[in-house]
Amino acid sequence: MGESLARMGHQLKLLRGGTAFFPAMIEAIDSGVHEVRLETYIFHFDGAGASIAAALERAAQRGLAVYLAMDGIGTPEVPLEWQQRFDAAGVLWHLFSPLGRWGLLKPPRWRRLHRKLCIVDARIAFCGGINILDDWYDPYFGSLDSPRFDFAVQVEGPLVADIQHVMSQFWRRLKRNRTERRASWLADIIVGRKSSGGTPNGPESVGAQAVLVLRDNLLNRTRIERAYRRAIGDARQEIVIANAYFLPAAKISRSLVHAARRGVRVRLLLQGRYENFMQFHASRPMLGALLAAGVEVHEYTAGFLHAKVAVVDRHWATVGSSNLDPLSLLLAREANVVVHDSAFAQELRECMEQAIDESSVRLDAKAYAQRPWRWRILDWIAFGLMQALLFLTGRRY
């Protein structure tokens, strides 16, 4: 599902944070009459998550087919109360690839379900970076002093059929036993290729141009990375990227450097708060080259940044689940919506620009180059550890 398949006819709504995302999703679920499908990395069953869970329960009680897939690391367990309520209502739920006792020692188990997708009645869909998790709470840090910075997009139009297809296909694969998965592997490839264009569910003569771009370990290994590289390579005026875990492959880093050197203003909005050792330190060795080339790096300090969005030349935009890091670009199932529409891109750009101007600190290239040796050593340890972990998976980055 590359950008060449982008089609007109989409009605798009940018949703900033859970305060906009969760009510929109609940309204869609409560208006459903046939089917609801939801995929998420984290499903936290308190606060806003409990409201989403209750909406799924109500839908199943009304007779809708309800399918829920959660990642086995992001959501290590479903509370017993909700297991019983889901089962009683008829919600079909599944934990994708739980690690188990020795899971971390098995590199194939590092492949995660990281995409965040929801579809109701093959009519309305949601895609973005927002987990089913309250904006003001973090599983590791507890209550937050400011809401998480993140986005999703609500979609009506032709690509809804693409989302319906990929979510239905994924659920079928989850439910097959190992023999059936092997026997149907080629059939899924053929079906996927035939169906990648989707079936329009609205007029294509009006509305925004958009396409669903996936990353998985079968047909779509590099689609999201290629979409970014193409947009960066075509940029003539401006690139604005907000990314929570930023450690891009060398080709993307070089593309950003080349863009800056040919006069494109490149701004990165990155996580400024220390979340974990790898997230904070592993990306540092490559920031120096970007800063030296004239790339602006702004660190978000108002709270936790979880967004995975970008705008190029105020017309191309993407909202999705994929970070520009090895986990997203090499190992995880991801989903982004790429949009070619000036109004949508400008709205997203204004949100990012406000965060850059009001809630971030710009890194100074000279001061960064002179940071303490202790920090540099930690940076290279984290970077080396990341490379070693990738070596264990058999992947190059």
Q: Point out the residues that are catalytic.
A: 114, 116, 121, 306, 308, 313
Helix, strand, or coil (residue 38) = strand
Our measurement of the distance from residue 184's CA atom to the centroid of its chain's CA atoms, rounded to an integer in Å, reads 28
User: What are φ and ψ of residue 379, in 5° steps?
Assistant: -60, -50
As a whole number of angstroms, the distance between CA 149 and CA 139 comes to 16
Q: Interior CA angle at 314 toward 313 and 318, to 5°?
A: 95
Q: How far is Cα of residue 87 from the mean position of the Cα atoms in its chain?
A: 29
From the list 124, 127, 143, 123, the residue with the least C-alpha distance to 135 is: 143
DSSP letter at 56 equals: H
* DSSP state for residue 305 in the 8-state scheme: B
Helix (H, G, I), strand (E, B) or coil at 333: strand
Residue 54 has phi, psi (to 5 degrees) of -65, -35
The DSSP symbol for 76 reads -
Strand partners, 119: 37, 125
Instruction: Please report where in the chains the tokens 């604005």 appear, as a residue.
Output: 240
Find residue 118's DSSP bridge partners.
Answer: 38, 126
Which is it for the CA torsion 95, 101, 104, 105, positive or negative?
negative
Number of Cβ within a 10 Å radius of residue 105: 9
- For 58, the 3-state DSSP assignment is helix
* DSSP track, 318-331: EEES--SSHIIIII
Q: What are the tokens at 260? A: 């800056």
* Helix then strand then coil, % of the chain, to nearest 5: 45, 25, 30
CB-based contact 76:105 (threshold 8 Å): no
